Amino acid sequence: MTFSFSGQHYLAGLWQAGTGDAMQSENPVTRQIIWEGKHATENDIEQAFQAARHAATHWAITSPEYRTKILHAFAAQVEKRRAQLAELISLETGKPLWESLTEVSAVVGKINLSIQACRERNAEKKTVNPDATACLRYKPQGVVAVLGAFNFPAHLSNGHIVPALLAGNTVIYKPSELTPAVAELIMHCWAESGVPAGVINCLQGSGQVGRSLLDKAVDGVFFTGSYQTGKRIHQQFAGRPEVILALEMGGNNPLVVDEVSDLDAAVYHTILSTMITAGQRCTCARRLLIQNNAAGDRFLQHFILACQKLRVGPYTMQPEPFMGSVISTQQALSHLQAQQTLLQKGGEALLKMTQLQENSALLSPGIIDMSSVNAPADEEIFAPLVQVYRYDHFDDAIRMANQTRYGLAAGLLSDSAQKYQQFYQQVKAGLINWNKPTTGAASSLPFGGVACSGNHRPSAYFAADYCAYPIASMESTHLTQPAQLLPGISLE
């Protein structure tokens, strides 16, 4: 499939060439140049902000039915380009085509889920009292900045944009500089949906573009990415508490494997927890906690063998691979260095992660036993690399699972309902799964973590909560005097 891109920003309903420094994206497997454009300048950023601010008043008072109509038109445009968008996601991120197709489905499915969530969580309510009506309604935040992530370049940003627009906000979207082509195609879908000029704008560029955007008088910032970047955003707004921040910042997630009768199922769910998307999901299990006995040995042996057999390659490979590349060769080399650091600290390579092709971002799965390492670093390594820890007692597994500053996802594979109840009660995380992969999440539920994984603004079904704020009103159609005045008041 041939792709043609303008390499432009989308500002005030128009495609405009930037005047900043040149930027480009490339296929992480072949290094083929996919997209070329220019970083947004201060002038571009100011233009995007003014367009969003100008459109905000009108968009906020449009009817929910009209906004819903626009969202459905956007979904129709995405559906029309389903094959093109899926292949572009694979081309620009290196992920398999089967996975990219599921991402496109998530983009389309977000529309109806967001409408349902908004109706449920932001529904207008009235209570009629003898002297007044108590009303609960919601207003949009105003102009919000959405900072996108590279691992799901269409879906994750869409998870903020759709509920934000539905609530009546205007949006300035700054996608990852690693996936500008996917962002441009998504913006074409918005442009052809009939959305009014200025309601959604897109600025391409680096992290500096994002930082400059956040210097504007935005009313909200919706971010998905690393803890380090999320922390800097939080610090940037230390003096602006009036700005709503929704920060999803990853995790160092544990998966505990207890006594299980179906060994193959346990291995399968562990693979999905640790290696899917080449380990580039914030919910991937980074730490695998296994019993220190013969059953644990047996599970580990099967898991290593299964990882050795995983099909890894470009999205064009036939039969299709399970796993593609990480996002860039630079990141691949960084992950290999992180593995080397683990080994230098005393980790044992049960299966060493390697670069499968020179000058390519394809990495093989890696498994490092860290059981003998004292005080291992509490870091999220965004790669197909999992650290193994052995435990003697289930209480030890829970203690080890909680040895992290993060709190996004945690999982337990066990035949025991009693142990799951203990795990659920004692493990600190926003997503807790039993006999399912840590990467499994339902869009009909909230998505977010605690501690350093987020700031208590879960997304997915709960995104409606940070896209609008509640207004409480006491209302009466007639101005009347009470039958009895309060003591000390005389109107004669």
Beta bridge pairs of residue 127:
134
Q: What is the number of other CB atoms lying within 10 angstroms of the CB of residue 485?
A: 10
User: Which conformational region is residue 13 in: left (phi greater than 0), alpha (psi within -120 to 50 degrees), or beta?
Assistant: left
Q: Which of 309, 300, 370 is nearest to 339 (CA)?
A: 370
Interval 202-248: pLDDT, tens:
999 999 999 999 999 999 999 999 999 999 999 999 999 999 999 99
Tokens representing 332? 């691949």
Instruction: In whole angstroms, give the CA distance from residue 150 to residue 153.
Output: 5
* Residue tagged active-site, from 189, 202, 282, 452: 282
Instruction: In whole angstroms, give the CA distance from residue 453 to residue 446.
Output: 14
Between the CA of residue 32 and those of 24, 83, 268, what are the distances in Å?
10, 20, 33
Beta bridge pairs of residue 469:
139
Tokens representing 51? 């367009």
119 touches 34 (CB < 8 A):
no
Torsions phi, psi for 286 (to 5 deg): -95, -25
User: Which one-letter amino acid corresponds to residue 155?
Assistant: H
462 touches 446 (CB < 8 A):
yes
Of the candidate CATH numbers 3.40.50.2000, 3.40.50.2300, 3.30.210.10, 3.40.605.10, the domain formed by 9-249+454-474 belongs to 3.40.605.10
Instruction: In whole angstroms, give the CA distance from residue 398 to residue 411.
Output: 11
Torsions phi, psi for 94 (to 5 deg): 90, 0
138 touches 473 (CB < 8 A):
no
Of the candidate CATH numbers 3.40.190.10, 3.10.200.10, 3.40.309.10, 1.25.40.10, the domain formed by 253-434 belongs to 3.40.309.10
Between the CA of residue 246 and those of 144, 174, 229, 230, 272, what are the distances in Å?
11, 15, 13, 9, 27
Q: Taking each helix axis from N to C terminus, what angle separates 155-167 and 97-121, rounded to the nearest 10 degrees? A: 20
DSSP for 163-203?
HHHHHT-EEEEE--TT-HHHHHHHHHHHHTTTPPTTSEEE-
Instruction: In whole angstroms, give the CA distance from residue 244 to residue 141.
Output: 8
* Residue tagged active-site, from 26, 92, 177, 248: 248
Going from N- to C-terminal start, the domains of the chain cover: 9-249+454-474, 253-434
Q: What does the pLDDT read at residue 332?
A: 98
Residue with tokens 């600190």: 428
348 catalytic residue (yes or no): no
User: Which one-letter amino acid corresponds to residue 78?
Assistant: V
Residue with tokens 């799964």: 433
Tokens representing 23? 């930027």
* Helix H or strand E segment including 350: strand 348-351
401-418 CB burial, b ≥16 within 10 A, e <16: beebebbbbbbbbbeeee
Residue with tokens 């009693």: 418
Tell me, yes or no, if the two domains 9-249+454-474 and 253-434 fold the same way. no
* 205 CB-contact burial (10 Å; exposed 0-12 / middle 13-18 / buried 19+): buried
Tokens representing 464? 């409606």
353 touches 366 (CB < 8 A):
yes
DSSP for 193-254?
TTPPTTSEEE----HHHHHHHHTS--SEEEEES-HHHHHHHHHHTTT-TTSEEEEE----EE
Instruction: In whole angstroms, give the CA distance from residue 175 to residue 157.
Output: 8
* Regions of the chain where pLDDT drops below 70: 2
Tokens representing 445? 């539920």
Global confidence as pTM: 0.96
Torsions phi, psi for 463 (to 5 deg): -60, -30
282 catalytic residue (yes or no): yes
